[in-house]
Amino acid sequence: MKETITVQGNEIAIISRGQKDYISLTDIAKYRNKEDPFSIINNWMRSRSTIEFMGLWEKLSNLDFKPIEFERFRNKAGSNYFVLSPQKWIESTGAIGIISKSGRYGGTYAHKDIAFEFASWISSEFKLYLIIEFQRLKDDENNRLQLNWNLQRTIAKINYRIHTDAIKESLIPPALSKAKINQIYATEADLLNVALFGITAKEWRSENPDKKGNVRDYAALEQLVVLSNLESINSVLIHQGLGQSHRLQQLNSIAITQMKSLLGNSGILKLTQDK
């Protein structure tokens, strides 16, 4: 996924890898030299302080980082003959903080921590505006994610009403006390909890005494989508007259299949990884 922000009239590309954001050093460098941004990046990487900063970041973030190669670069840094490109740094040390891409999203990208350091070397003012615009982008993404989560929670609640109506029509004998009716509702709700979460509401509260709400309030977006589907499916199974044990088995199988499908869906992955 690629997004862009505008910083002092300059478009800066941002890509995501898993939960990490990488900002285009190439675009940042164009603030100083639009014709040859790579020379700006290479000059920055020649500095001993830059090598030490990137090396420390890798040691804290990358278990496969090669410290011996890092020490070799650090010892040579600053000398007149020393030259270091992003590609050489990556290939020699196994670094993950900087990536070099070709093709559609081509250029040199760096993890936001490193990109902000590079921007500071370019211009303190530019760095400040970069941080402001980057944070605005992240806030917008978080707001969109929260909106989607709330939407799915609302859908689940609406479907729950359909679900309870089916219980009332098919499972509740006439003239039962209110306590008995509530007990049946709770049992059916837990049927879905066990099918999807593997735990009843009571068991969840016992294991999470410090949390407010219920297990569904802490569900992932994918789980809420599946929960919405299970409520509708369970209503159909209830009308068909299937017993709880048979329904639980079917619902659990459906939950497993749908969760696997959603977790492998690029659209869902994009939605969850953008937070």
Domain end position, chosen among 88, 122, 156:
122
Task: Find the DSSP H helices in 5-111.
Answer: 25-29, 37-45, 48-61, 67-76, 86-93
Per-residue pLDDT at 174:
46
pLDDT mean values, one per 10 residues, the chain (275 residues) = 86 88 94 91 92 94 93 88 90 93 76 94 92 88 73 71 59 46 66 85 89 86 85 89 84 83 57 46
155 and 256 both lie in a single domain: yes
Domain end position, chosen among 65, 95, 122:
122
Question: Which of 243, 261, 259, 28 shows the shortest CA–CA distance to 134?
Answer: 28
171 and 60 both lie in a single domain: no
To the question of pTM greater than 0.95 for the whole model, the response is: no
Domain end position, chosen among 122, 153, 169:
122
| Residue 186 exposure: Cα atoms within 13 Å on the Cβ side | 10
Per-residue pLDDT at 248:
85
133 inside domain: no
Query: Which domain does 82 fall in, by range?
Result: 2-122
Give the tokens for residue 127.
């760095």
For the chain, counts of helices (H) and of strands (E): 12, 5
Q: How far is CA 267 from the centre of its chain?
A: 12
